[in-house]
Amino acid sequence: MQNKKIDLPYAKVPDVNKLIAQSKQGEVKAYYARLALEQIARGGALPAALTHFPIQVWSFGEDLVMVFYGGKTLSDYSLRLKKELDKNKLWVNGYSNDVPCYIASEEALKDPRFIYETTNSMYYYDKPSPFATGVEDKIINTVYELLPSFLVKQRR
């Protein structure tokens, strides 16, 4: 078993003025802003990244490799790995070891059809914004660091 925890940066962290304006909007975005303003008023700071995102790889000889991600990783992560590697030897799992929020792929961050997963849901999870571009590659590169060499050698 190999594992690693990485930090996933957010696209932006709103300043106090932005949070004040946001607190006057409706529903969850306003609720998040009020909580964030209270945190700042108590001397806290808003996080610039999701810290300690867990990635784990289990290898069962050369027959099966299981990848475990924290959070609700969109299916794009599994599809990408199965395209790049031997899909018959790979099993990818989300919701493993932690559930901090949706973990959007690069494609989802660009696609307005995924606005709930990339942006709106982040407020429910007490996160300041969507993830920064490049997060998908950071996650996939970490998976490759943890994969056994026999599987990486077969990379397409």
Q: Is the pLDDT of residue 27 over 70?
A: yes
Indicate whether 41 belongs to any domain.
no
Indicate whether 37 belongs to any domain.
no
Indicate whether 27 belongs to any domain.
no
Count of structural domains, the chain: 1
Indicate whether 69 belongs to any domain.
yes
86-117 residue pLDDT tens: 999 999 999 999 999 999 999 999 999 999 99
**pLDDT of 3:** 96
Indicate whether 7 belongs to any domain.
yes
Indicate whether 75 belongs to any domain.
yes
Q: Which domain holds residue 102?
A: 2-11+48-152
d(CA 51, CA 35): 19
Enter the DSSP assignment of 106. Answer: H
Mean pLDDT in residue range 71-96: 94
Q: Is the pLDDT of residue 83 over 70?
A: yes
The sheet carrying 64-69 orders its strands as: 2-9, 49-60, 64-69, 90-93
pTM, entire model: 0.92
Proportion of the chain above pLDDT 70, given as a percent: 97
Indicate whether 31 belongs to any domain.
no
* Mean pLDDT of all residues belonging to the chain: 94
Indicate whether 55 belongs to any domain.
yes
Burial of 74 (0-12, 13-18, 19+ CB in 10 A): buried
**pLDDT of 152:** 84
**pLDDT of 125:** 95
